[in-house]
């Protein structure tokens, strides 16, 4: 039990530094006895749990051993005289290439990393167990890179010499600063302020309750489309990912295209929302926002967009409204949204019955899922880019990361109510109940996506690691109405926030209207187009927005819906 106890102690230490979300990964990878001990089980019960040894495919193991011995022999034969050059960007600077010792340590590390990843691939077992082992090995190898340690990092050593030790002093100051703020700095956060140079599109808050503020934006055109447009961003993040800078704001783009645009700005959950449920967020937020936009505009129907978790929530709201016989939404746009949770990508390593039951026990009846824990979990999905890169730059080199609006937003964490979070994990990620007609009851209604017969625009990003492109495409098979699917290049955020003026990346469309069962089949008939998907979406949305009418002269409507405060409002400024 000593080893298990040490593992549990180590997991607690790691949790203090990187947050509970990452600690859950350790719990998923540790020996079963240690997992029970870390969860608070008695030592007797923990000792009684079975131990499942890891087994390897013999042929793969033999080939891997032979290859390792061959490459290790070649590396040691070259020694420090002519160590091989390495292509990994962590080790390609002039300082690394000039130092034989540094090049040798990098080459030895990469050899070991390749071998360990090969061992992970040679594991015999079910897909989930293999994915967890591979994920754990990837995390370990990312953490153990010689670039992460001053004693081995040739760049950091050279900078310390060049600055006569000033870089080390700055690195210590950066570390102390990040310890005080509770997260690793990804950008110079002092250069950004919500409402000053991010989230600056002009508008006003016209409704608020305990869950959200509704922002209406000032028209930029003399006429607007008859059907107003509502955006539902994810409540796991701040809404202004859709409104970073004027030149990359999807909100401003929609307003400039002539849409009377409204956006949900979520409240950052605190103790007053600790009992809030999924039903509360659907009824009191998404459905409330839809009805409020209808009342303000006087339109019988609106167009709506959901992004990421916001799209999942929008699909639930539409199903509830359909069950009630309401036809409030004329069209729906889903951006990188999971509706069919059959394929959840790398996030699947976190999800099993034990973890979900633990979350239900921990916070299912009340509590908060801390925003920093969620942020840490997502950062470790790309550890070299979103964790160790900043550890090296901030602390070993004493650098201040450059200003980047997207990374400022990424660090602006939000809390979630525990009951909401636990219900979401079980019913979607674990059991995939949303696609089963009548399986879920939401807001008192038995919901069936087959009743959500509205035109939909479904967008997925090709390199998305949060909503895999196959999972985004899967929505085309469960939503019954007329559908258009578009695939964009890049990832979960960069693929979405891709304004046409930048002329970056590509997108793929298929204009014959066919939506076969798989993405691969769809791609066989798809055409690649240079640049942003926004222009394609704008044309589609205009076709569902009705005629054009005179733009409103004031925010809200009458005395009931008046401007409460200027955009971006108070809620988005609340810190986790």
Residues 6+ apart with CB under 8 A from 151: none
Residues in the chain: 576
Query: Does the bond joining 568 to the residue before it have cis omega, within 30 degrees of 0?
Result: yes
308 counts as catalytic: yes
The sign of the dihedral angle between the CA atoms of 22, 28, 32, 36 is: positive
Q: Parallel, antiparallel, or unpaired for β 229-232 and 302-307?
A: parallel
Strand partners, 302: 329
- State the Cα–Cα distance between residues 293 and 199, nearest whole angstrom: 21
**CA atoms of 576 and 560, how far apart (whole Å):** 31
Name the packing angle between helices 371-379 and 20-29 (round to 10°). Answer: 60
Helices (H), 200-287: 250-256, 278-281
Task: With beta carbons less than 8 A apart as the criterion, state whether 505 and 532 touch.
Answer: yes
What is the rounded distance in angstroms from the CA atom of residue 425 to the CA atom of residue 436?
A: 16
SS3 91: helix
Structure-block tokens of residue 126: 């079910």
Q: Is 66 exposed, middle or buried (0-12, 13-18, 19+ CB in 10 A)?
A: exposed
Rounded CA gap, 259 and 226, in Å? 8
How big is the chain by its Cα radius of gyration, in Å? 26
DSSP assignment string, 99-118: -HHHHHHHHHHHHHHHHHHH
The answer for residues whose C-beta is within 8 angstroms of residue 276's C-beta and 6 or more apart is 211, 269, 417, 419, 420
3-state secondary structure of 321: helix
What 8-state DSSP symbol labels residue 573?
A: G
**Greatest C-alpha distance within the chain:** 83
Instruction: Answer yes or no: are the C-beta atoms of 452 and 481 closer than 8 Å.
Output: yes
Q: Please check whether residue 332 is in contact with residue 317, taking contact to mean a CB–CB distance below 8 angstroms.
A: no
The residue annotated as part of the active site, out of 289, 308, 318, 440, is 308
Active site residues: 308
């Amino acid at each position: 039990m000593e080893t298990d106890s040490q593992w549990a102690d180590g997991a607690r230490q790691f949790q203090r530094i990187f947050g509970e979300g990452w600690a859950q990964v350790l719990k998923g990878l540790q020996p079963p006895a240690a997992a029970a001990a870390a969860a608070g089980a008695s030592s007797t019960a923990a000792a009684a749990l079975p131990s499942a040894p890891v087994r390897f495919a013999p042929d793969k193991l033999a080939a891997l051993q032979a290859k390792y011995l061959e490459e290790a022999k070649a590396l040691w034969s070259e020694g420090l005289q002519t160590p091989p050059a390495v292509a990994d960007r962590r080790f390609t600077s002039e300082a690394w290439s000039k130092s034989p010792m540094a090049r040798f340590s990098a080459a030895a590390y990469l050899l070991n990393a390749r071998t360990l990843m090969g061992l992970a691939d040679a594991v015999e077992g079910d897909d989930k167990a293999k994915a967890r082992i591979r994920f754990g090995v990837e995390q370990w190898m990312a953490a153990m890179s010689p670039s992460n340690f001053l004693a081995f990092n040739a760049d950091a050593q050279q900078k310390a010499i060049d600055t006569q030790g000033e870089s080390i002093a700055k690195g210590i100051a950066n570390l102390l600063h990040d310890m005080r703020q509770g997260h690793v700095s990804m950008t110079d956060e002092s250069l950004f302020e919500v409402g000053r140079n991010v989230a600056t599109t002009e508008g006003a808050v016209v409704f608020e309750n305990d869950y959200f503020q509704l922002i209406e934006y000032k028209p930029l055109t003399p006429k607007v489309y008859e059907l107003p447009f509502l955006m539902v961003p994810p409540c796991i993040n701040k809404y202004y990912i859709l409104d970073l800078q004027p030149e990359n704001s999807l909100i401003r783009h929609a307003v400039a295209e002539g849409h009377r645009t409204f956006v949900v700005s979520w409240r950052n959950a605190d103790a007053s929302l600790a009992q809030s449920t999924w039903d509360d967020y659907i009824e009191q937020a998404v459905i409330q926002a839809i009805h409020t936009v209808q009342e303000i505009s006087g339109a019988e129907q609106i167009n709506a967009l959901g992004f990421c978790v916001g799209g999942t929530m929008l699909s639930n709201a539409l199903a509830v409204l359909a069950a009630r016989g309401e036809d409030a939404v004329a069209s729906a746009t889903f951006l990188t949204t999971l509706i069919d949770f059959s394929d959840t990508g790398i996030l699947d390593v976190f999800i099993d019955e034990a973890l979900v039951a633990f979350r239900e026990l921990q916070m299912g009846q009340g509590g908060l899922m801390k925003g920093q824990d969620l942020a840490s979990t997502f950062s470790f999905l790309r550890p070299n880019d979103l964790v160790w890169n900043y550890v090296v730059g901030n602390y070993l080199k004493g650098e201040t990361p450059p200003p980047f609006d997207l990374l400022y937003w990424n660090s602006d964490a939000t809390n979630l109510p525990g009951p909401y979070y636990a219900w979401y994990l079980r019913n979607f990620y674990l059991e995939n109940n949303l696609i089963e007609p009548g399986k879920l009851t939401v807001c008192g209604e038995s919901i069936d996506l087959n009743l959500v017969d509205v035109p939909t625009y479904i967008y997925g990003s090709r390199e998305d690691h949060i909503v895999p492109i196959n999972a985004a495409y899967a929505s085309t098979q469960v939503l019954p109405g007329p559908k258009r699917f578009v695939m964009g290049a890049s990832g979960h955020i960069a693929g979405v926030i891709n304004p046409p003026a930048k002329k970056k990346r590509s997108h793929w469309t298929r204009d014959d209207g066919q939506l076969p069962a798989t993405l691969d089949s769809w791609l066989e008939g798809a055409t690649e187009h240079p640049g942003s998907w926004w222009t394609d979406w704008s044309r589609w949305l205009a076709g569902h927005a009705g005629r054009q009418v005179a733009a409103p002269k004031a925010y809200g409507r009458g005395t009931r819906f008046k401007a409460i405060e200027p955009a971006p409002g108070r809620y988005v400024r609340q810190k986790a």
